[in-house]
Structure 1
């Protein structure tokens, strides 16, 4: 651990990761040994590294349980409005270290088990990326805890699937999870297929196939406030009587196959949906989460004090106590599902049910790309969820009936089209007042003006912007503790909960000692990451080189291709003039591709092929290295982000979704090269555009170019360097055994490139030259780094969640103050715990 220098040159320990006390260390040791012996039934002579990890995890879990119970007791007694977050986005992250930091026991744990710590760190990545931390869901839980809101997150308990050129199953539950608690008492039925009967008492969905949803709870603690909430993940289970008749008459194989088909719903998170079976499975997954979650929400609400004393439960107060946030289009079926429950099961009149539903839901829009807004074939919906299709038709018809002639343009945004159900308009129609929100300011502007213009004209206040954020607990304290300690030395520890405090660092922009210490922390992080790359990829890395990083989902609009063209151009430049001065670079690219996304996989193949040539050319030496990170994930991000010098966010202006990667890099002392797109726009506002490397077409330029007509051939003919690079790819220089391997990429770039790679190529190359020039002056580079860190305060997820609470959910932060769990007897009090129902 690096301890920063004070102004007087003396080293000082600070308590940002918890204070080490004799009693706390002894307690951790005692718990560790107890779990090793009595939970795992091992001693130190035969225990494996995985056993050590589980023993520590169970020890840390001991510190969570009483806090978890006290938190649920508070919710039961006070009955605050509860916010439910539905998402199907998964990002795997390490739970152990994050939990230790939030509980303030990391240093005590480090000291208590120091002789096993290295083993535990390695095993934590290999066996236990146990916290299925959703990108937004994780910040949602941890940050609502910081401001005392009662949150719940729901998702699938699925085996994760990693994608590059070929997919491999990542069985993260193979060895179990020390954090999960099964809740079989709350297992719920989920229905599929069947038919709809119209009866005197209303519609009935009958003859359905039933799959059971088994809940598993994972605790998530708030930062240093004794509060613990949880994520609930649903796992598909076949009913006990599932084809038991077939089994009994001897058709064992069919019975087993049918059981496996039922449980396949949560077998793989992202099935390839390029074929019908894959589409059907994906739709099953999305409905599975929605159906189980809404039953659970209604069960919990009925068990509360509101409306519980009447003979028939009163749903009038439902929106006052329940807010449901839909993350992107994936959980859109929650809308017709709640209507089905209210109308068909609870027998509430349609208009009243519609009013309840509208006030309950809000929707987060992530992107403006049409292909990212899910559409489902009507025949698939009719087969799998016939009653829901009827409800969607009715919502659509009533929506159109309610439109006046003034808004007749909205007919082009109907929810049902001939070939598909369009989910984004469904959410726009349904979302309550001021509750259809975007995660970047630029996305809101585009949606207002283009994608959902008619809806925006109809309900002006509905669309609003809630810029996304990141949690400094994970993305600074956990992944870059040396930098966190250095910052705390200068401005105190308040920034951990109030990231706007980072502005105070501007005072130290010209402080030579602070500049030196910032550079030292960065270099040590680079050294550690270089060692990791050499060990994993067998490529010798120059730690003094500029670490140039682009890690994000592989997609044409993210323009990893533009980065790849620059790599080839640098390679050509070194080959032609090896004696010329060149700023050494280690270019790192990482990310996953959707299983059925052919072009994304070809982009990955091109990058790896270029890397093979560059890394094995002796003339290039240490001047240029290229690494494609396999299986990019949160635990790998925690290594690469602190080590990055230059962070690339180069999507075509007006296309970027709600990424937070650029914010994480900014907070960890990387400079950004990018277009005026996504959060780059607001980062430039905060830090000053002169402190970012901004290049290329602006959004209005893209619009004009579309009107004029984009012609890739013009750029190819005009730019000799670009022509050389493209010809090398086209002629098989990087794929000599398969000269036509990248034919699809070349055809796309010349004829189908919606994202205009060639149009920004020249500006990008010139901007990269400015990057190299500044990097040759380490002191000036570090001054800009400090300015960027100081400007990162706006991008805290604490701020994001407070804005959601105030403007979207209508939730006031409570006065929840959970005391330390020093009196276990309170937890054994039957009166106190009788009503605690997770």
Structure 2
């Protein structure tokens, strides 16, 4: 048991050994690394014990393959989950050291971009906290996506050098390194036992080195593993590279997340990157299985592999490769085991987001993978030929013409395909993957996303957590469903006032941060209206902006008009090659420059676009939010998770009936959410009858004319090119995401928000009802459903009790 005295002793020892200084002379950064080493030492004991128990009990384990993870900072999370948070905070305070200042020294791990990566990390937290045997498998990026800055309102991408001073939480495991093979000439020879042996010549070999980070469960002694693969060129391979440029191509495989695939080199790197972490991970898993000394026939009783989106879909042919080429199983045996082991989560409804690769590129980068995919496809067509119509089989095959469809591979090669919200899963079955649903109806299921509520409430919002502890006790900290106890206090004005005070304190904190980092002075009594997510046209940050312009012009045209002050807060990165999204960023920043400096509107509107949106920034914004903008076109957002985080912190959701917004509405009731816009059925009706005319709406709506014309008539300075691009996207190219159709409904919803906010007590009651019902969206519940229905894994303690 760690005591204050022992903690100080360890800190002093680490500082002396690592930096040759006394605690009193140490910088905050030096104290962070020394404290991190101490805490890692404690969690390592639990990690070692957990792993030994898994091995001893031969626990079935799940391996969660994801191209993204977004863990955020781990110091506070590990302290909380180890039950050391209060002790460490108090000990540092005794030494006149502020824990928050130490926490600020930690870099966010640059391992992801948006919801996909954060979901993966929420799942890692929840799997460990539920005591389930589960591992993450991903890439140790040198620079992640990028570090976002704004220069003259434009997004500028800089390297996010998060590893510059090391990562205190990881352990490099050279003994677990594996080789990954690329390219070459593949031939076959028959062995004496009759099996075909694969002969590969002229291949490139890369060394994959695992860096493991402990995923600490919530006060239960369980520590699981997130394994991230780093890349090296083996010494023996050095001479094979004819130029520095050729070598750089391979070294760049783990440099950045989502290399720009608009050119041939980028596409090569992106495919090679995906195979790199898939091959390394599968080799590692099957090497572990061989340690169990069990027959191949029971492999699926000990191993589950989950494919998070299509990026790791090569898990299927790579798994087959090892079973066929190295274990010498028959095709039938290997395919049966592969299907039982693999499961797949689809994260999109957008057809363009379902990965496809040219046959030529697959043959060039990973020829053995292509051979196996080709055989899977051939056998699939043969097996279905007598069961389903030929047209259906052809539409669902993996290789079509010169294109390989990775989602088709993921569905055909696994036993489960799930969506991530009820509407999303229904649309997969009825529209997006309808053909596959006809063939494999039993494989489709829904698992609505969830969030790690420990991080997003206990850590991000201590004032509100304190109110909850005082009001309903502390059981909610372990059992999120107990948040519902708060419903007993919805008419208690004292509790409502405390919730309001907690929100006010976080708004003041955020306002201070905004002033310090951007120079923008905002009113903490204003409505904080928040939209934080990837910048994508379907998420409709542009609709938000069009309403802001409408509101601004009304204030300009009616000098005596008064509204409740509103601060619009954006956080979003646009993919480097996504030109249209970057134009929207520039336009938002240009409008912010115009409005924030217009003294005639008396600061009634402010716009703040915070650069480099990441987990740590989200932890500052979300507890301070009053309004949660979830305004994607209905049928386009698979789920969303910012909606859940904002709801948990008492923000009122302003939303279309899309993704998990529907389930939030069902949880809180129509009176405690503000819904607007087209329904999914109405959207698809437009697609079917092709009757949508943005131009017609524009010509019949003077307000829309006023707002859109401002994009091109010079009223908004410095957006001549971007404004025209956006204007044309809406009117010339017919407004793909129906912003103009939803505009009036959205403006009416915003007016409703304003009226609701004036009724202070009722607003606080609505906040309370949202918080109370947020336990439904805990990642703990979600991963338990995966464990029961898909992975078939059990907690260690359940296994031991049998």
Query: Same fold judged by TM-score > 0.5?
Result: yes
1:597 is the counterpart of 2:585: no
Partner of 2:152: none
**Among residues 182, 185, 199, which one is paired with 2:189 in the alignment?**
199
**Aligned counterparts of 1:451 and 1:304: Cα–Cα separation in 2:** 41
**Aligned counterparts of 2:37 and 2:211: Cα–Cα separation in 1:** 17
1:301 is the counterpart of 2:289: yes
**Deviations for 1:497-538, whole angstroms, at most 9, x for unmatched residues?**
221111111110010100110000000000000000011110
Partner of 2:93: 114
1:779 is the counterpart of 2:761: yes
Q: Is the 8 A contact 1:127 1:175 kept in 2?
A: no
Q: Is the 8 A contact 2:506 2:623 kept in 1?
A: yes
- The 10-residue stretch of structure 1 (40-49 or 752-761) with the greater mean CA deviation from structure 2: 40-49
- The 10-residue stretch of structure 1 (204-213 or 135-144) with the greater mean CA deviation from structure 2: 135-144
Partner of 2:151: none
**Aligned counterparts of 1:52 and 1:25: Cα–Cα separation in 2:** 16
**Among residues 48, 51, 63, which one is paired with 2:42 in the alignment?**
63
Q: Is the 8 A contact 1:49 1:120 kept in 2?
A: no
Partner of 1:216: 211
Q: Is the 8 A contact 2:712 2:723 kept in 1?
A: yes
1:389 is the counterpart of 2:389: no
Partner of 1:160: 144
Q: Which runs of 5+ in 1 are unaligned?
A: 1-20, 247-253, 308-313, 819-838
Q: Is the 8 A contact 1:686 1:791 kept in 2?
A: yes
Residue 622 and residue 146 in structure 1: after superposition, are their counterparts in 2 closer, same or farther (change >3 A)? same
**Aligned counterparts of 1:768 and 1:717: Cα–Cα separation in 2:** 23
SS of the residue aligned with 2:715?
A: coil
**Deviations for 1:517-564, whole angstroms, at most 9, x for unmatched residues?**
000000000000000001111011000000000000100000001001
**Deviations for 1:469-501, whole angstroms, at most 9, x for unmatched residues?**
011111110101121121122222111222111
Q: Is the 8 A contact 1:25 1:112 kept in 2?
A: yes
1:84 is the counterpart of 2:63: yes
Partner of 1:789: 771
Partner of 1:284: 272
Q: Is the 8 A contact 1:502 1:793 kept in 2?
A: yes
Q: 1:498-577 residue pairs with structure 2 within 5 A? A: 498-577=479-558
What's the CA shift for 1:267? 1.3
**Aligned counterparts of 1:115 and 1:593: Cα–Cα separation in 2:** 44
SS of the residue aligned with 2:498?
A: helix
1:140 is the counterpart of 2:138: no
**Aligned counterparts of 2:764 and 2:621: Cα–Cα separation in 1:** 18
**Aligned counterparts of 1:619 and 1:347: Cα–Cα separation in 2:** 78
- The 10-residue stretch of structure 1 (232-241 or 121-130) with the greater mean CA deviation from structure 2: 121-130
Q: Is the 8 A contact 2:698 2:704 kept in 1?
A: yes
**Aligned counterparts of 1:599 and 1:574: Cα–Cα separation in 2:** 29
Q: Which runs of 5+ in 2 are unaligned?
A: 149-154
Partner of 1:412: 395
**Aligned counterparts of 2:629 and 2:724: Cα–Cα separation in 1:** 26
SS of the residue aligned with 2:569?
A: strand
Residue 620 and residue 410 in structure 1: after superposition, are their counterparts in 2 closer, same or farther (change >3 A)? farther
Q: 1:363-762 residue pairs with structure 2 within 5 A? A: 363-403=344-384, 404-408=386-390, 409-432=392-415, 435-708=416-689, 709-736=691-718, 739-750=720-731, 751-762=733-744
Partner of 2:233: 238
**Aligned counterparts of 1:115 and 1:618: Cα–Cα separation in 2:** 47
Partner of 1:813: 795
**Deviations for 1:783-836, whole angstroms, at most 9, x for unmatched residues?**
111111111111001100110011001123331699xxxxxxxxxxxxxxxxxx
Q: CA RMSD in A?
A: 1.9
**Among residues 345, 359, 362, which one is paired with 2:340 in the alignment?**
359
What's the CA shift for 1:122? 4.3
Partner of 2:309: 328
TM-score, normalised by the number of residues in structure 1: 0.91
**Deviations for 1:680-716, whole angstroms, at most 9, x for unmatched residues?**
0000111112210000100111111222321101111
Residue 529 and residue 118 in structure 1: after superposition, are their counterparts in 2 closer, same or farther (change >3 A)? farther
What's the CA shift for 1:275? 1.0
**Deviations for 1:14-43, whole angstroms, at most 9, x for unmatched residues?**
xxxxxxx9x722222111111111133222
SS of the residue aligned with 1:325?
A: strand
Q: Is the 8 A contact 2:189 2:199 kept in 1?
A: yes
SS of the residue aligned with 1:461?
A: helix
Q: Is the 8 A contact 2:110 2:160 kept in 1?
A: no
SS of the residue aligned with 1:176?
A: coil
Partner of 1:99: 78
Partner of 1:249: none
Residue 163 and residue 717 in structure 1: after superposition, are their counterparts in 2 closer, same or farther (change >3 A)? farther
SS of the residue aligned with 1:243?
A: helix
**Among residues 785, 789, 794, which one is paired with 1:803 in the alignment?**
785
Residue 52 and residue 131 in structure 1: after superposition, are their counterparts in 2 closer, same or farther (change >3 A)? farther
What's the CA shift for 1:739? 2.5
What's the CA shift for 1:87? 0.1
Q: Is the 8 A contact 1:365 1:439 kept in 2?
A: yes
**Deviations for 1:287-345, whole angstroms, at most 9, x for unmatched residues?**
0000000000001110114x2xxxxxx31111110000100000011111111111122
Q: Is the 8 A contact 1:469 1:799 kept in 2?
A: yes
- The 10-residue stretch of structure 1 (169-178 or 454-463) with the greater mean CA deviation from structure 2: 454-463
1:769 is the counterpart of 2:751: yes
SS of the residue aligned with 2:230?
A: strand
SS of the residue aligned with 1:793?
A: helix
What's the CA shift for 1:124? 3.6
- Paired residues, number: 781
What's the CA shift for 1:752? 4.6
- The 10-residue stretch of structure 1 (398-407 or 567-576) with the greater mean CA deviation from structure 2: 398-407
SS of the residue aligned with 2:235?
A: coil
**Aligned counterparts of 1:67 and 1:631: Cα–Cα separation in 2:** 34
**Aligned counterparts of 2:517 and 2:794: Cα–Cα separation in 1:** 48
